[in-house]
C-alpha cells in the first residue's frame, strides 16, 4: 500500500471511529439525559456520565487547541 493512501486510511478510520464512538453521547445529550447527574436519586442512585455534553464545546476547544499548540514547531525569529 502506498504511503499517502495508508495515512489517509488511518485518518479515515480515526474520524469514522470518533463519530461512531461519540454518537451514543450525542444522542444521550439530544434525549436530555446528559444532565443525569442533576436528578434526584429516589434511593436508586444518581447516574453520572463521564462526559457532560453541556461542557463539550469548551473541552473540545481545549483539546483541539492544545493538540495544535503541542504539534506546532518552534521557528527562528526573523531578523
Partner 1 sequence: MVELTQSAPAHWLRRALIGAVAILLCEYLLLSWLVDADLLQRRLAWLSGFGYVAPLAIAIGTAIFIFASTGKANVLVLAERDRPTARRASPYLAVHAVLFLAFLLLTRALFGGQPLLLGTAEAGFMSWALLGLAVIAALTLAILPPRQLFPLVRQARLSLLLGSLVGIAAWIAGRAAEDLWEPLGRLTLSAVAQSLRWLFSDSFSVPNRMLVGTSTFRVIVAPVCSGFEGIGLMIVLLGCWLIACRRQLRFPNALLLVPLGIVMAWVGNVIRIVALIAIGSRWSPAVALGGFHSKAGWVLFCGAALGLMLVSRRAAFFARETPPVETAGDSWNPTAAYLVPFLSGVGVQLVAGLFSIRADFAYPIQLLAVLSALWAYRKSYGRWRFSLSWAVPVIGAGAFVCHFALEGLLGPGTASGSTTSLGLGVRPAGAASALIQLARTVIVVPLAEELAFRGYLLRRLVSADFTDVSPAKFGLASLLISSLAFGALQSNWIAGAVAGMLYAYALYRRGRIEDAFLAHAVTSLLAVAYSWWFAPLRHA
By CB under 8 A, tell whether 1 contacts partner 1: no
CA–CA–CA angle 36, 51, 40 (5° rounding): 15
By CB under 8 A, tell whether 45 contacts partner 1: yes
Residues 6 or more apart whose CB falls under 8 angstroms from that of 1 comprise 9
By CB under 8 A, tell whether 42 contacts partner 1: no
By CB under 8 A, tell whether 44 contacts partner 1: yes
Cα R_g (the chain), whole angstroms:
19
Binding interface with partner 1 (CB under 8 A): 4-5, 7-25, 28, 35, 37-39, 41, 44-52, 54-59, 61-63, 65-77
Amino acid at each position: 500500500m502506498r504511503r499517502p493512501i495508508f495515512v489517509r486510511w488511518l485518518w479515515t478510520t480515526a474520524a469514522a471511529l470518533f463519530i461512531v464512538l461519540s454518537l451514543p453521547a450525542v444522542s444521550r445529550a439530544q434525549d436530555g439525559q446528559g444532565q443525569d447527574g442533576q436528578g434526584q436519586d429516589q434511593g436508586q442512585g444518581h447516574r453520572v456520565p463521564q462526559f457532560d455534553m453541556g461542557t463539550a464545546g469548551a473541552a473540545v476547544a481545549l483539546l483541539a487547541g492544545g493538540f495544535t499548540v503541542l504539534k506546532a514547531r518552534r521557528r527562528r525569529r526573523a531578523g
